[in-house]
Chains A and B, each alone.
Chain A
Amino acid sequence: MDLFEYQGKQYFAKFGIPVSAGDVAHTVDEAVAIAERVGYPVVVKAQVQVGGRGKAGGIKLANTKDEVQTHATNILGMDIKGHVVRRVWVECASDIEEEYYASFTLDRAAKQHLLMLSAQGGVDIEEVAAKDPTAIVKLHVNPIVGIDVATAKTAAADARIPSKAQAGVADILVKLYECFVKGDCDLAEINPLILKPTGEVHALDAKVSLDGNALFRHPEWEAFRATEELDDRERLAREKDLQYIGLDGSVGIIANGAGLAMSTLDVVNQVGGKAANFLDIGGGANAELMTSALEVINSDTNVKSIFINIFGGITRGEEVAKGIVEALRRVELRAPIVIRLDGTNADQGRSILSEAGIPSSKLMSKPTMLEAARAAVDIANGKVG
């Protein structure tokens, strides 16, 4: 789960990481009130989860109340690369002497935490990495050891951050690491991390991605979930507790298991179709789950055919078949189903489906994944049916 900048800054602040005084505004009036409270000049920043806000005109400096009004009016509702701005963050403008970069992530290959630190911040770190890899210090941190101030200071020196800023940077690194670990982040990134003329170091931006698996120990994350930018299909899927990702094709997909679902997308693509979604129905493909899944697929107006791809391991074919028959009684579908049912008790499952008396214009069964994909894609592309 990715956080907006304002949420990231609020999250940082809980771990003692210095951020500019500011608040989030949903309206122009709120933006003005915040500016009046924190004092001018202020920066008005569009809250969207996409890069290039500044270039798109989504970040503006305001010296007066009128300027805040003008900028907030322009920015709220603005479309930045397909993302509509619903909130702005208004904060005290900072004088910047230097810009650095700092982040913690998990290095999956090394199975350790990874600190990345650079004296060249404020720009895309991947560009820095491409142009001058030596400008980025990469330090592995053992998850059961952690990072102390001395190690962080050495890293700052190695990154050629000037000595006057090293103590401030090291202090923030230790706090950022605590935020990363205790805050259950997949990514905790500050870019830019700034040095002010006064000698203080602080976080001017915040990019935080949270590990959804840790939701059970962070009840406060519910507020973040409420602002997640989901489309209607994804919101319905979340309500039904399904692993769903909306895509833009016309073949609706239901499969059991993440790997098989991904594979189903691939096979549909191989035979010339495009998937409308990724949907992993999991191990228990019963009537309840199948109904929910079909409801979500059915809410997608682009869907022209539905490909149900089930491989029964623990899941038994006859149970899946019964689930589908029952689900078809409950939901009126916009598109025909092509099913491939294989694995444990698949024969029984297929006979249940054929004996249910469902017309082939609504449900057809194919023996292999590839044949089923072809049939579903043909229907979606208007070649048959």
Chain B
Amino acid sequence: MAIFVNENTKVIVQGLTGGQGKFHGLRNRAYGTKVVAGVTPGKGGQDVEGIPVFDGVADAVKATGANASFVAVPPKAAPAAILEAAAAGVGFVVCITEGIPAQDEARVYSTLKRDYPSTRLLGPNCPGIISPGRCNIGITAGEIAHEPTPGGKNVGIVSRSGTLTYQALFELKQQGIGVTTCVGIGGDPVPGTSFVDCLAEFQNDPETSAILMIGEIGGSAEEEAAEFIRANVTKPMSAYIAGVTAPAGKKMGHAGAIVSGGKGTAQGKMDALRAAGVKVGANPTEAGQLMAQIIASLG
């Protein structure tokens, strides 16, 4: 088991003929992901190292039976690309594009909710998702992820930050702890998939024994997650929140990472998670060590 993606996931790459799409799409395939098609308008009929390219997502889905899409196109084109995938019936769309205007993200989110409720969007501006040994969609370096141990105690990871996600994967690998799925939800103001969505899936995934969560300043997603954990998550968790020392009113790189009006502070988020029973580390390494202790205590 794993959440959202597994060995049966068939992926199309929107923008496969572009720099990012080609680089990461081929890496994903090299990892073992079933990358079945690419989509670039006007380039249908070509191929990228044997992967057939189609003009539109609908054609690609019809020809290959793809059930997931990896959107790797520039900010201007990304909103339409996401909606095109949804309209073609793709159930899981991963968008790594950084720099999409917030107004466009809000419109895409509401359009998906209203017109394509069965499509899940991950991102935008996220590193993607990896179910180690099964499927990798996005920019995560597969080799830093430890495959889940059959019959053992494995961890699910959900994170708002790219590099801290890799850091978490790496730390668990150092400790020899397997990962079922690692989801990067992205640092933008309107993410398609939230912490809560992922926590609900991990709670229901029999292969996942514990959950590691990495948040950051800004917004209230971590507080909402804490509420959800208190009421619904019985699996043990550790967490880390970045941005304790971030000054108010300054966006810290991610469009969503800003403390404004005294809200969205790291301290507030850590307090909320601790109150929900989550073990919170002062840095990513400590969160990894706390997770190692949790796994050890599970026997």
- What is A's interface to B at a CB cutoff of 8 Å? 106, 108-109, 111-113, 126, 142-144, 181, 184, 186, 211-214, 216-217, 243, 245, 247, 255-263, 265-270, 275, 278, 280, 283, 311-314, 342-344, 368-370
> Which A-chain residue is minimally distant from B127 (CB atoms)?
A313
Q: Is the CB of A259 within 8 A of B110?
A: no
List the 10 closest pairs (A to B, CB-CB), nearest first: A259-B161, A257-B163, A258-B253, A214-B101, A260-B163, A259-B164, A313-B166, A262-B242, A143-B106, A313-B141
Instruction: For A258, list chain B residues within 8 Å (CB).
Output: 161-163, 187, 216, 252-254, 257
Instruction: Indicate which residue in B106, B109, B144, B255 contacts A213 across the interface (CB closer than 8 Å).
Output: B255
**Best-surrounded residue of A184, A262, A278 (most CB of chain B within 10 A):** A262
Q: A213-B102, A262-B217 are in contact. Are A314 and B139 (CB under 8 A)?
A: yes
**Known interface pairs A213-B102, A257-B253; 12 further A-B residue pairs with C-beta atoms within 8 A, sorted by A's residue number:** A106-B102, A111-B106, A181-B103, A216-B75, A258-B162, A261-B252, A262-B242, A262-B246, A263-B284, A312-B141, A313-B163, A343-B166
Q: How far is the CA of A247 from the CA of B246 in the complex (A)?
A: 10
**Best-surrounded residue of A142, A260, A313, A314 (most CB of chain B within 10 A):** A313
**Best-surrounded residue of A142, A259, A278 (most CB of chain B within 10 A):** A259
Residue B167 is within 8 A (CB to CB) of chain A in the complex? yes
As a 0/1 sequence over residues 223 to 237 of chain B, the CB contacts with chain A under 8 angstroms (1 = contact) are 010000000000000
Instruction: Indicate which residue in A111, A313, A368 contacts B285 across the interface (CB closer than 8 Å).
Output: A368
Interface residues on B, range: 35 or more
Q: Is the CB of B285 within 8 A of A266?
A: no
Q: Is the CB of B243 within 8 A of A262?
A: yes
Residue B69 is within 8 A (CB to CB) of chain A in the complex? no
Instruction: For B102, list chain A residues within 8 Å (CB).
Output: 106, 184, 186, 211, 213-214
Instruction: For B162, list chain A residues within 8 Å (CB).
Output: 257-259, 313
Q: How far is the CA of A212 from the CA of B162 in the complex (A)?
A: 21
Q: How far is the CA of A200 from the CA of B173 in the complex (A)?
A: 67
Q: How far is the CA of A283 from the CA of B233 in the complex (A)?
A: 34
Residue B299 is within 8 A (CB to CB) of chain A in the complex? no
Q: Is the CB of B243 within 8 A of A266?
A: yes
Interface of B is mostly: loop
Instruction: Indicate which residue in B100, B106, B111, B242 contacts A266 across the interface (CB closer than 8 Å).
Output: B242
As a 0/1 sequence over residues 148 to 164 of chain B, the CB contacts with chain A under 8 angstroms (1 = contact) are 00000000000111111
> Which A-chain residue is minimally distant from B162 (CB atoms)?
A257
Residue B140 is within 8 A (CB to CB) of chain A in the complex? yes
Min CB gap B246→A, angstroms: 6
Instruction: For B244, list chain A residues within 8 Å (CB).
Output: 265-266, 269
Min CB gap A263→B, angstroms: 4
Q: Is the CB of B247 within 8 A of A280?
A: no
Instruction: Indicate which residue in B143, B255, B261, B282 contacts A126 across the interface (CB closer than 8 Å).
Output: B261
Interface of A is mostly: mixed
**Best-surrounded residue of B75, B166, B170 (most CB of chain A within 10 A):** B166
Q: How far is the CA of A319 from the CA of B103 in the complex (A)?
A: 37
Residue B250 is within 8 A (CB to CB) of chain A in the complex? yes
Q: How far is the CA of A143 from the CA of B261 in the complex (A)?
A: 23
Instruction: For B247, list chain A residues within 8 Å (CB).
Output: 245, 247
As a 0/1 sequence over residues 252 to 279 of chain B, the CB contacts with chain A under 8 angstroms (1 = contact) are 1111110001000010000000000000
Q: Is the CB of A369 within 8 A of B252?
A: no
Residue B189 is within 8 A (CB to CB) of chain A in the complex? yes
Q: Is the CB of B252 within 8 A of A245?
A: yes
> Which B-chain residue is minimally distant from A316 (CB atoms)?
B141
Q: How far is the CA of A9 from the CA of B160 in the complex (A)?
A: 36
Q: How far is the CA of A142 from the CA of B255 in the complex (A)?
A: 21
Which B75-133 residues have C-beta < 8 A from chain A? 75-76, 99-103, 106-107, 109-111, 114, 127
Instruction: For A343, list chain B residues within 8 Å (CB).
Output: 141, 144, 166-167, 170
Instruction: For B190, list chain A residues within 8 Å (CB).
Output: 106, 108, 111
Q: How far is the CA of A297 from the CA of B219 in the complex (A)?
A: 30
11 contacts between A and B (CB under 8 A): A106-B189, A143-B110, A144-B111, A211-B255, A216-B75, A260-B164, A262-B161, A262-B217, A262-B257, A266-B243, A275-B245
Q: Is the CB of B141 within 8 A of A344?
A: yes
Instruction: Indicate which residue in B101, B217, B253 contacts A261 across the interface (CB closer than 8 Å).
Output: B253
**Best-surrounded residue of A258, A268, A269, A370 (most CB of chain B within 10 A):** A258
Q: A270-B283, A280-B253 are in contact. Are A111 and B109 (CB under 8 A)?
A: yes
Q: How far is the CA of A122 from the CA of B226 in the complex (A)?
A: 36
Q: Is the CB of B252 within 8 A of A278?
A: yes
Residue B137 is within 8 A (CB to CB) of chain A in the complex? no
Instruction: For A344, list chain B residues within 8 Å (CB).
Output: 141, 143-144
As a 0/1 sequence over residues 47 to 83 of chain B, the CB contacts with chain A under 8 angstroms (1 = contact) are 0000000000000000000000000000110000000
Q: Is the CB of B284 within 8 A of A369?
A: yes
Instruction: For B240, list chain A residues within 8 Å (CB).
Output: 263
Q: Is the CB of A259 within 8 A of B214?
A: yes
Q: How far is the CA of A143 from the CA of B254 in the complex (A)?
A: 22
Instruction: For B160, list chain A residues within 8 Å (CB).
Output: 259
